[in-house]
Structure 1
Amino acid sequence: MPTLVDFATTGAQFEIPEFENPTDAISSVKFSPYSNRLLVASWDKHVYLYEITSGVGTLVNKFEHRAPVLDVCFGKDDDEAFTCGLDWDIRRLDLTTGTQTVLSTHSAPANRLVYSNARSLLVSTSWDSTLHFHSPSADQNPASLTLPSKAFSLSLTATKLVVAMASRALHIYELKNLQLLLSESSATQSAMSTIEAEPWQRRESSLKYMTRAVACMPNDAGYASSSIEGRVAVEWFDPSPDSQARKYAFKCHRQTENGSDTVYPVHALAFHPVHGTFASGGGDGIVAIWDAVGKRRIRQYHKFPASVAAIDFSTDGKFLAVACSPGFEDGKDFVAEGSVSVVIRELGDLETQPKAPR
């Protein structure tokens, strides 16, 4: 059994046992929307399923793929997952039987996917600059939408889909309009179709350098994005001048070493589902909690064993999963043994709540 570590006055943390960890870099961690089950995708060509309880992370099963897995998410329940990776395929994974079904195939590696349970809609991106849309439970044919550039990150709310791309471009789509187009397309096509959908909004990132991650606020009000140059931006969907005047960006994940400022990429963002605060994880091995509205850092945890590759909150907000993998920020060769880990932070009642204004 892993040992609990007293990590702050309001919480504790533990690691998944090393022999149950991935054996290569971690690309994604995703909690179930329905329980405290956790999926982990890795470059070792496997998806790992864990059951998280207080003080313990238990490996339930692992599922081998043909190539490194770049992203994973749960589907309509705890028995269904979707995966994508370097084999270009979008796959449905039955977590009970292990059966894998290919839903569509991009023309380049598929790097990100998200699932809307309310709309039974799966969205994937690829380095081929397309989105693929699937309605697995509606027996509809998949559809493809061409983007102006390669997508780096995806996030969605109850009503919107945010796509962060190269050249600092962001597209925001309304899910109801996408679903209408998909229904119309499926009715007239017997195979994958190509649709044209104008985004609800086109934006240019507030950050000067390449976008690394994007995460939507749980209240459907806006999103945060991060860059390779140690910055995070917070923006709101409302296009009114007053609302847009609220957007801001700030520096983070920078370390002073030998008298000079070293800047690290911000690899991961995740919003707390209850309090609306958000976590950022960087190449410096640091995870910080931020109050988006109050524009302040709530807390910063001690340095993790390696670069923080991915983070996610459990649906009840009681756990934070942190995936650590060498990120090559230090210029050293990759060594998986002892450097790849999944750390579970058990959150105290006040740990992620916004602080009262000063």
Structure 2
Amino acid sequence: MTDYFELRLPPQDGISSLNFIPQTNLLLVTSWDTSVRCYDTTGNVQRWQYNHDVAVLDGCVQDKSRVFSSDISGRIKSYDVASGVASDIGSHEKGVRALAYNHESQLLFSGGWDGILKAWDVRDPHQPKEMHQHNLEAQIFTMSTTANWLVVGTADKMITIFDTRQMQQPVQKRESSIKFQTRCIRTFIDGSGYALASVEGRIGMEYFDPKEQQAKKYAFKCHRANEAGVDVVYPVNTIAFHPIYGTFATGGCDGNVYYWDGQNRKRLFHLKHYPTSISALAFNSEGNLLAVASSYTYEEGEKDHPNDQIFIHTVNEKIKPFGK
């Protein structure tokens, strides 16, 4: 018996994001084929779907009754699961690559290729309100939020950090510790910092507290291979933290997924090799499932590539940190 299976009827174009709906095994999937789909991973069936007019770049979840999605034209949508109705929240002038919902503040954050960060009050689904707007002066590629923190990564390799209780201005703006472009940021489960992935096969571990940042921050190489005597470096596209143990998984353009123990600076193990790039990863709330999107990300330009696939892996004891 294998410890994984493939989801039936995946999207028909690049998979842009994966998010498990909290306290369920329902998986939200957004795609360049314009769809936003929800799969029941227990029964391996699609539960529901709605669509944008253009490619969908990101999605996030409020709870099991409401989800959000954004597209390449800049539109942000809200979907009510019970009624099956999708409605517009607002928009940016360019594509919205990053969405994040903060449960403490009940704010939805959107980051656009127009360099604008917006905060939306979405408590009333019929009257969403734009509460804050910040010009970060470069395309926003990624963001992550936990507790009272919001971390935003931009094309100029700057990291902007906000306290979600005081969104009038950022509390920190710092240059990434990695000299190459940021592709993904995800916050630690204890709220002390974040992991940052770059196009140059590196992960940076950084901290919100400036003193901790100087004392504890570090970076390590990953998703690299020696091919015919040449050291080949692959972009790291995605990071997902285990919700209980705080260890994490990374996925890269090499088609590999690795598990890491960041606290002890150790690689734990890796999963099977996938047919093409890993575009997204997500753990469920219980931490016993990991969703993996094997989906070509066009890092080598237009070429023939395998169909997009989503694999659901059972997570075993190997994901525990060393000594646990």
* Shorter-chain TM-score range: over 0.9
**RMSD over aligned Cα atoms:** 1.6
CA deviation after TM superposition for structure 1 residue 70, in Å: 0.5
Query: Where does residue 148 of structure 1 map in the other structure?
Result: 137
Q: 2:319 aligns with which of 342, 345, 352?
A: 352
Q: Match of 2:174?
A: 203
**Structure 2: distance between partners of 1:325 and 1:65:** 20
Q: Distance in 2 between matches of 1:305 and 1:222?
A: 32
CA–CA distance in structure 2, aligned partners of residues 309 and 243 of structure 1: 28
SS of alignment partner, residue 59 of structure 1: strand
Q: Is the 8 A contact 1:264 1:329 kept in 2?
A: no
State the partner residue of 1:220.
191
Q: Secondary structure at the match of 1:245?
A: helix
**Greater shift in the superposed pair: 338-347 or 121-130:** 338-347
d(CA) in 2 for partners of 1:237, 1:283: 29
SS of the residue corresponding to residue 351 of structure 1 reads: helix
Matches within 5 A, 1:194-343: 197-240=168-211, 243-330=213-300, 333-335=303-305, 338-343=306-311
In the TM superposition, residue 306 of structure 1 has moved relative to its aligned partner by 1.1
Mapped to 1, the partners of 2:318 and 2:301 lie a distance apart of 34
For 1:135, which of 121, 142, 147 is the aligned residue? Answer: 121
5+ residue gaps in structure 2? Answer: none
The Cα of 1:94 is off from its aligned counterpart by 1.5
Give the structure-1-normalised TM-score: 0.86
Residue type of the partner of 2:320? Q
TM-score between the two structures when normalised by the length of structure 2: 0.95
Structure 1: runs of 5+ lacking an equivalent: 6-11, 179-196
Cα distance in 1 between the residues matched to 2:209 and 2:104: 22
Structure-2 residue corresponding to 1:14: 5
CA distance in 1, matches of 2:277, 2:29: 16
Equivalent-residue separation in structure 2 for 1:214 and 1:94 (angstroms): 28
Q: Are 2:23 and 2:284, in contact at CA under 8 Å, matched by a contact in 1?
A: no
What amino acid is the match of 2:45?
A: T
What is the deviation of 1:110?
Answer: 1.1
- Partner of 2:41, secondary structure, is strand
Letter in 1 for 2:79: L
- Pick the structure with greater CA Rg: 1
Alpha carbons of 1:127 and 1:330: their partners in 2 closer, same or farther (altered >3 Å)?
Answer: closer
Q: Residue 262 and residue 129 in structure 1: after superposition, are their counterparts in 2 closer, same or farther (change >3 A)?
A: same
CA deviation after TM superposition for structure 1 residue 79, in Å: 1.8
For 2:156, the equivalent position in structure 1 comes to 167
Give the equivalent residue in structure 2 for 1:95.
Answer: 81
Give 1:32 shift: 1.1
Cα 1:157–1:106, aligned 2, differ >3 Å: closer, same or farther? Answer: same
AA matched with 1:252: C
Per the TM alignment, residue 329 of structure 1 is displaced from its structure 2 partner at its CA by 3.9
For the pair 1:60 / 2:31, whether they are aligned, the reply is: no
Deviation string 1:8-27 (CA, Å, 9 cap, x unpaired) is xxxx111102xx10000100
Structure 1 residues 343 and 328 mapped into 2: Cα distance closer, same or farther (>3 Å)?
A: same
Compute the displacement of 1:351 (Å): 2.3
SS at match of 1:176: coil
1:217 partner amino acid: F
* C-alpha displacement of 1:316: 1.0
Answer whether contact 1:26 1:40 (CA < 8 A) is retained.
yes
* Identical-residue share of aligned pairs (%): 36
- Give runs of aligned pairs for residues 13-92 of structure 1, distance below 5 A: 13-17=4-8, 20-53=9-42, 56-75=43-62, 77-92=63-78
Give the match's secondary structure for 2:84. coil
Residues paired across the two proteins, number:
321
Q: CA deviation at 1:327?
A: 2.4
- In 2, distance between residues paired with 1:40 and 1:263? 28
Q: State the AA in 2 paired with 1:326.
A: Y
8 Å CA contact 1:326, 1:334 repeated in 2: no
Inter-partner Cα distance in structure 1 for 2:320 and 2:20: 20
Residue type at the aligned position of 1:340: D
Residue 112 of structure 1, aligned match among 90, 93, 98: 98
Separation in 1, partners of 2:307, 2:109: 32
Secondary structure, counterpart of 2:216 in structure 1: coil
1:271-306: CA deviations, max 9, x gaps? Answer: 111000111100000000111110110111121121
Q: Deviations over 1:210-257 (max 9, x none)?
A: 0000000011011000100100000111111x5522110011001111
CA distance in 1, matches of 2:97, 2:302: 25
Q: CA deviation at 1:318?
A: 0.8
Q: How many Å separate the matches in 2 of 1:347 and 1:212?
A: 25
8 A Cα contact 2:50 2:86, kept in partner? no
Deviation at 1:104, TM superposition (A): 0.9
